[in-house]
Amino acid sequence: MSTNEKNSKTILEYISEWSRKHSLFVMAYGTGCGAIEIPSTMTSRYDAERFGIRGAATPRQADVLLITGYLATKTLKRVIRVYEQMQNPKYVIAFGSCTINGGMYYDSYNTINSLDRYIPVDVYINGCMPRPEAVISGFVKLQEEIAAGRCHKGEKYIENLEWYRANQKKIIKNWRMPDYNW
Amino acid sequence: MEDLGIKILGAILTTIMAFAVGMTYGGITRKLTARVQNRRGPTIWQNFIDLLKLQSKKSNIAHGFMGHMAPAWIIIAAITTLMFIPVLNGNLWFPNLTFHGDLIFLLYIMVFGSLGMALGAGQTGNPNSAIGVSRGLSQMVGFEIPFVLALVGLMVQYQTTSIKDLMEVQQQTGIWIMFSNPFSFLAAILASLGMFRYSPFDIVGAPAELASGPVSEFGGKYLGTMMSGGSIFAFIKLTLFVDLFMGGAGNGSDTGIWATLLGIVILLVKTFSLYMIPVFYGWVSPRYRTEQSIQYFYRWPLALGIISVIWAVVL
Amino acid sequence: MNSLFLILIILFGGAIVAYLANKLAPIVSSIVSFITITTAAVLFFTQVNTETIYQFTLGGIDLQWGIDYYTYIFAMIVFGLGVLASLYSIQYMQDKERLGYFNFNFVMAILGMTGIIFSQDFVSFFIFWEIMTWSSYLIVIYNGKEVRKIGIKYMIFSAIGAYAMLAAIVSIKGSFGTFIIADAINAGALSTNFYIPILLLIGFAVKAGTMPMHVWGPGAYSNSPMSFTTVFSGALSKMGILGMGIVLTALYHKAAINDMFGVMFIKQSLMWLGAITAAIATIYAVIQTDAKKLLAYSSIAQLGYITIGIATGTKLGIMAALFLAVIHGVFKGALFMVVGAVERQVGTTDMTKISGLIRKMPWTFLVALISIIALAGIPPLAGFVGKWMVYEALITETNSYFLVVVVFFASTAGFLYSYRFLFGLFLGQEEDDTAHVKEAPATMIIPMMILAVILVVIGAFPGLLIDPIANAMGVMGYTDVNFGLSTLSNVWGEQLNMQSIGMSIGIVFVVTFAFLSLKGMKGTKNVGTKDISTSGEIPYDHENMTYQLDFFKPFERALAPLYKRSMDKIWNQFGEGLEALFDFTRKFNTGNGQTYALYVVVFLVLMLLLKDTLFIN
């Protein structure tokens, strides 16, 4: 590969990564109790739109999926379906301690303890619940991760699908989902 | 041959200009809306960044041939309509393929895009898309009638169906049609509120009510193409209004580079001021239901349209 | 033998042979009807020219048959649609019963229409008109369903029209002494007393579906088999237009100057009736759930446009009317064939039960798409040319500006039912109960494709069709019609170049398609319609998620006042009133001989008492 080719490839990729960084469509899906902090982040006081962050109505249009807090197994099945309907490249931001180690519900029969086993996560924001300033700093961290080229977890999900599926099927009892449709 | 080459080059330049201007207006609107709501808002170029991101998506989902072609219909309709509107009158680069007798043609070709997108949205199989399409078409019956009445008033008053002739009449008499047939202007502006699909007529693409209606199943490059098509359409409608009611832009047969730039600047100023009318009205309006929006157009806008035709016949 | 007579004999003989051939095998009957009509068509297009005149005397009345440029246009529609519909009908009617009866009436209907086209005198016109009416009536009741409501309604309205025509014809003979149409017009038959043209117009308005005579339309068009409805709505309704054209041009050109008020009254009322037909029929078409009824109402609406064009009497208006007459035959024929194909493959045409046939019947969908684009009047296909001419005629040549708005309302509401038709049958979710459907057989697809190709070609080169129409208008008295192969122009000197429009659309289509398909081609994936974003849920297979019921409910609610009054109800109330009156007068027939004797005595007494005033010596 000559120097010229390497440069041009990088320029195109640079523009793509830059545009992905500055335009994030967030899936309008409040999965848990942390979703209460999202309206304040999006509206006038803490204004997430100045970073290019917008709400998107359907997973087909969205880039970022926010897992806002605890995940019941019932919600986990829908979250997996929504995640798989999104288009590459896609990012997941996990809010709160429930996604890291189970948080307040660590010994519940109905919630999951560690989100990373079921779908790949890019950025964790800790807190219970994280304030809007913390949410915005999480988005800024996501932007840095995108710029550094470390956010290709959508493709990693496809590569390690058997492992993820095994984990998902262990915890979701009535598995009735179509195959992944990428 | 050289003439044809210049015409094709002019067509490409017009398309690029329409695209750039339309997207920038969208960005400016977002910024202004944010300021009105006491926050900062994104940069003016945010729509371009969104488009770049959408086009650089690595995987795209399509639902069949019509769903694949749906954004293409909008672009086809947009570019074809653009070809037949004089952007800068008499200029060497931007007169396009305009011909006489084309107001009626324009009314029909503008529907071509929405119908194509509706067919593509129908094939995706999402019931939200179908509901959105039925609402959009019903609303269209609403706003087209006062708009046609306004245009008929113009056609009768000046005995022509060509946009070029109307622009020339305005340049010769020196009075904008906005002032010589004000009822026609008012009816057309009220109809344009429905055309631009800002509040209160934005029930078609309402994100939370309808999962964004017809575009709900489109993502990636399809959504990007649709957004650019929508921006070109916004520019087209604005230019049409400016040509009909505000005297157009560009004067006579100047072909120098400074005259062209001056013409473009005047066009931008006029279209932007006209664009602010639906945007301003949208900032303070809640959303109408579909039957309310149809009935809205059959009250004052229809009355103003009828008065404009009577005015044109009497004068 | 004279070729006109030969054509009619072939058709009549073919009808009888088709009826008898049913005894051999039903499909032979259909093939015989196809061969008959094709032979007649070939004979017509090769042998007949405008000099062919056939005169003979029958029972003391001079009959004259011939062709001129004006009736040639309608002959094109009749024979073209007849050939294609009979080819289509071979496999469409394959498993149905009583095919001999059907094919006999099919060919007799074509015979009636051909006879009308050939007639140059009123008596043969009326005879063939009646042949056409009863043969189409017999096909309308072919199914045996709802004979009273639909069939009798059709027959009554046709009879009203036919008797009005008969009264006018007899009156012409009485006042002007001739049955030959051209002589009667020159003698002023259609322009001196106004009741003659009005009676004739009533007769033609019934067939052309103008309000208030249109109520038979929806039932009759949707109840007959689709291969006949192609001819029924495509060609038979145009016979009314043919008559209207003759009457109205005679009226406008030959009326005396001081009768102008009467002429203006007829013209304005006919134009407004046409516009109201178009508007009201369109909004009824929007709320239909059965594809056949939707197309039936849409036929009536399109005929409203043609009526407006004919009634304006100006150059562009008549050109628009004749152009739309031909093009309407083409695209409505294609659409009824599409519905017939769907009905044959799926078993029903109820749009609330079908969805997602696009992948299973792609050729049918293509024909439907092209025909619907032509129906909606969208450039660059042929329907736009006709609509453009109608608008230009209304704006530039007559001063009926509010009519333009009503027509435009009808046209915009037309987009609604156009989309509904395509969405209801072909788009939407692909359900399990339509999983077994296959594409229609080739003999049904070929006629449809021919019609679709005609639409595309005439869209780019409208001059091909306007050339015969200009000749026709020369016969009617309009000269110097301006047109080119691809350009049209109006009175204010403005032009429309269809070829450049078509080419620019084509080029942009190719470029955009290439861009969309090639960019990111690796990552694009086609998925089925079950994989939609249903808020994260996975729908069961039996859940139907297509939005079919009450599709345009907001539109219906917004225009609720327009739906309240229905001409059907008004006619029904009129009929009930007549029944009450007849109930009353029936009481005179008591069946008692003594009462009748009393009547005779009362009558004689009255005669004696009033003899001085009644009989003046």
pLDDT for the residue numbered A2 = 46
pLDDT tens digits, one per residue of B37-56? 999 889 999 999 999 999 88
Q: Coil, strand or helix: which one is C545?
A: coil
Task: Answer with the residue of higher pLDDT: C259 or B105.
Answer: B105
Residue C494 pLDDT = 60
Domain assignment of residue A178, yes or no: no
pLDDT for C256: 66
Q: Is the pLDDT of residue B266 over 90?
A: no
- Averaged pLDDT for residues B112-136: 86
pLDDT digits (tens, 9 = 90+) for C539-549: 777 777 888 88
For the ranges A39-53, A61-75, C240-254, which has the lowest average pLDDT? C240-254
Query: Tokens at residue B244, please?
Result: 């009909």
Chains in contact with A via at least 3 Cβ–Cβ pairs below 8 Å: B, C
Of residues C125, C47, C111, C121, the one with CA closest to residue C79:
C111
- Which chains reach chain C with 3 or more Cβ–Cβ distances below 8 angstroms? A, B
Q: What is the pLDDT of residue B99?
A: 56
What kind and span of H or E run contains A18? Answer: helix A3-22
pLDDT band at C30 (very low <50, low <70, confident <90, very high): confident
Segment C501-537, tens digit of pLDDT: 777 788 888 888 888 888 767 777 777 777 777 777 8
Q: Give this prediction's pTM.
A: 0.90
Residue ranges per structural domain of chain C: 552-586, 592-617
pLDDT tens track for C577-601: 888 888 888 888 878 888 888 889 9
Residue C481 has pLDDT above 70, yes or no: no
Output the average pLDDT for chain C. Answer: 85
User: Does position C477 have pLDDT exceeding 80, yes or no?
Assistant: no
Interface touch C533/A58, C-beta < 8 Å: yes
Dihedral sign for Cα atoms in the order C82, C88, C91, C95: negative
Given a cut of 50, whether residue A1 has pLDDT beyond it is: no
Range of the domain at A70: 11-171
- What average pLDDT is seen over chain A? 86
The predicted structure's pLDDT at residue C1: 57
- What average pLDDT does the segment C306-333 reach? 89
User: Does B93 have pLDDT greater than 60?
Assistant: no
Give how far A85 is from chain C: nearest CA, Å.
7
Measured distance CA(C330)–CA(C310) in Å, rounded: 19
Total structural domains within chain A:
1
Whether residue A180 is contained in a domain is answered as no
Q: How does pLDDT run across C39-73, given as a tens digit for each residue? A: 888 888 887 776 667 777 777 777 888 888 888 88
Please give the pLDDT value at position C486. Answer: 61
The ipTM value here is: 0.91
Collect all residues with Cβ–Cβ distance below 8 Å to C564 and sequence separation of at least 6. Answer: none
CA distance B139 to B289: 10
**In-domain check, residue A30:** yes
Is there a domain that residue A85 lies in?
A: yes
pLDDT at A6 over 70: no
Chain C residues touching B211 at Cβ < 8 A: 533, 535
Q: What is the mean pLDDT of residues C461-488?
A: 75
Q: Supply the angle between the helices B2-36 and B257-283 in degrees, to the nearest 10.
A: 30
C617 compared with A112, residue with greater pLDDT:
A112
Question: What string of DSSP letters covers A93-104?
Answer: EEEHHHHHH-GG
CA A63/CA B307 separation, integer angstroms: 51
Check residue B172 and give its pLDDT: 82
Per CB-CB distance under 8 Å, the chain A contacts of C530 are 178
Band of pLDDT at residue A179, cut at 50, 70 and 90 = low
What is the mean pLDDT of the segment spanning A105-123? 90
The model's pLDDT over B3-33, given as tens digits with 9 standing for 90+, comes to: 777 777 777 888 888 999 999 999 999 999 9
Chain C closest CA to B69's CA: distance in Å?
7
B49 at A interface, C-beta within 8 A: yes
Is residue A28 within 8 angstroms of chain C, CB to CB? no
Percentage of residues of chain B with pLDDT beyond 90: 24
Q: Mind telling me how many Å the CA of B63 is from chain C's nearest CA?
A: 5
A61 interfaces chain B, CB cutoff of 8 Å: yes
Buried b / exposed e along C72-110 (16+ C-beta atoms within 10 A):
bbbbbbbbbbbbbbbbbbbbbbeeeeebbbbbbbbbbbb
Residue B312's pLDDT band (cuts 50, 70, 90): confident
pLDDT reported for residue C490: 61
- Polymer length of chain C: 617
pLDDT band at A134 (very low <50, low <70, confident <90, very high): very high
Q: Residue B281 burial by CB count (10 A; 0-12/13-18/19+): exposed, middle or buried?
A: middle
For residue B291, what pLDDT is reported? 87
Residue A69, classed as helix, strand or coil, is coil
**Confidence check: pLDDT of C357 > 90:** no
Nearest CB among C525, C530, C538 relative to A81 is that of C538
Tell me which of A83-97, C20-34, C256-270 is least confident: C256-270
Highest mean pLDDT among B128-132, B198-202, C294-298: C294-298
**pLDDT above 90 covers what percent of chain C?**
23
pLDDT-wise least confident of A95-104, B285-294, C582-591: C582-591
